[in-house]
């Protein structure tokens, strides 16, 4: 009886093992980062609705975000590098 089970299980294992490898590789790390900040005026009050432009120095690509009611902003999934950040009210 054990030999019948092992004969049937072997083909199944050959199918399952490669699938496990595919699912594990889908959890690979990604090379991205985030920039988070708060915009405030000279009195320290939060600036809501400000436009924050984040420009990658090497590629020139830009990302534009708007500050929240509390003056915070975030830009996620950025390729690592050097950035220029400008704020317009």
Q: What pLDDT was estimated at residue 30?
A: 73
Torsion, CA 52, CA 57, CA 63, CA 67, rounded to 10: -20
What's the CA gap between 66 and 34, in Å, rounded? 15
pLDDT along the chain (89 residues), means of 10: 51 53 56 95 96 96 97 95 96
Number of domains in the chain: 1
Parent domain of 32: 2-88
Q: What is the DSSP string of 26-84?
A: TT-----EEEEEE-B-TTS-B-TT-EEEEEETTT--EEEEE--TTSEEEEEEEPSS-EE
Q: What pTM does this model have?
A: 0.67
At 37, which CATH number? 2.60.40
- In this prediction, residue 13 carries a pLDDT of 47
Length of the chain: 89
């Amino acid at each position: 009886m054990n030999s019948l089970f092992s004969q049937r299980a072997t083909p199944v294992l050959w199918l399952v093992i490669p699938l496990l490898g595919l699912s594990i590789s889908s959890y690979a790390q990604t090379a991205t980062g985030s920039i988070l900040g708060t915009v405030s005026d000279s009195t320290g009050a939060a600036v809501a609705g400000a436009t924050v432009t984040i420009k990658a120095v090497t590629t020139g690509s830009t990302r534009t975000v708007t500050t929240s009611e509390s003056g915070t902003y975030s830009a996620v999934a950025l390729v690592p590098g050097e950035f220029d950040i400008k704020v317009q009210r």
